[in-house]
Every structure is written in C-alpha cells, then in structure tokens.
Amino acid sequence: MKALKTFALLFFLILATKLLAQTTSNSVTEKPYIEVTGAAEKEIIPDEIYIAITIRERHEGREKITIEQQEADLKEALKSIDVSLDNLFLSDANANYVRIKWRKKDVITKVAYLLKVGDALTLGNVFEKLDELKIIDAYISRVSHSELIAFSNA
C-alpha cells in the first residue's frame, strides 16, 4: 500500500509540473508581433562636389613661386572655365621653417582651399587647370546633393 501511495504522489507531482510548465505568466497582456528590419538605397547624382586644393610655395630653379602668384593664377584659371569665385573657400593656412638646400633654410607657406563645383564636367575642367598650374595636391574631399533632406523624407 505504501508503494501505491508513493506512486500516486509521484504521479501527481509529475502531472502538476507538466501542467505548470505549459502556462505563461503574461499570456493575456502580451500580443503577438513580427519584428521586421530593413534597409533601402537610392542612387542619386551629386550636385555638390567639394575639391580640396592645397597650394605650397615652391622653387623652380632659383626662382621662388609665392602663394600670391599661385592664388592669382588659380583665380584666373577658375574664371576662364566659368567657375564662380564665391564657391572658393579658404580652409587652412600655415607656414613651416624648412631646409631648402644644404645650408639654406626658408619659410615655406601652405594654403588650403575648398572649391565647390556642380557637375563632373566642371570637375574635370578644374583638374585640368590645376594640372596646367602645377598644383598637384588636390582631391575630391566629399560629395553631396542640395536636396538631400527631400530624398531622405521621400
């Protein structure tokens, strides 16, 4: 008889744990849902292309080509390809005391500009003019679009 009682007690214990395991605590308040994560891309042609241009004083033979000469040449070259000088911004300027020849030291100045152009054709023309002026330190720093906020809201 004792074996039957322990068997019945064990049976009810196992049955109770199985029944309790099937219930959830928040089944009434929790609503089923599906979580979706996604991304979208839209290719646009930029209409604001920023070119970083750095002009350094340099020596050609015995002649020193100053920043002022190079700035004037740059502005004339930009006017010749119909780029507005309102889109040319001074970004940085500094000077360094460096060795030019074996015993001669001189102050070499450096000026950085940021030029904004509107399309790839103008960009190509600007780089051609920079090559003619022997300004070798120029690169595209960033591209953007003037209606970027409208594209993100659409």
pTM (global) more than 0.75:
no
Provide the angle, in degrees to the nearest 10, between the axes of the packed helices 120-132 and 67-80: 140
Residues 68, 70, 75, 78: what is their CA dihedral angle, to the nearest 10 degrees? Answer: -170
Looking at residue 66, its pLDDT comes to: 86
Looking at residue 125, its pLDDT comes to: 94
Radius of gyration, CA atoms only, the chain: 36
Minimal CA–CA distance to 57: which of 113, 110, 96? Answer: 110
Looking at residue 18, its pLDDT comes to: 67
- Quote the CA–CA distance of 107 and 116 in Å, as a whole number: 30
Looking at residue 142, its pLDDT comes to: 93
Domains recognised in the chain with CATH numbers: 48-153 (3.30.70.120)
Q: Please give the average pLDDT of every successive group of 10 residues along the chain, which has 154 residues.
A: 74 70 60 87 89 88 86 93 91 72 72 92 94 92 88 73
Q: What are the percentages of helix, strand and coil residues in the chain, rounded to 5? A: 35, 30, 30
Looking at residue 33, its pLDDT comes to: 87
- Quote the CA–CA distance of 143 and 81 in Å, as a whole number: 20
Looking at residue 54, its pLDDT comes to: 93
Looking at residue 143, its pLDDT comes to: 93
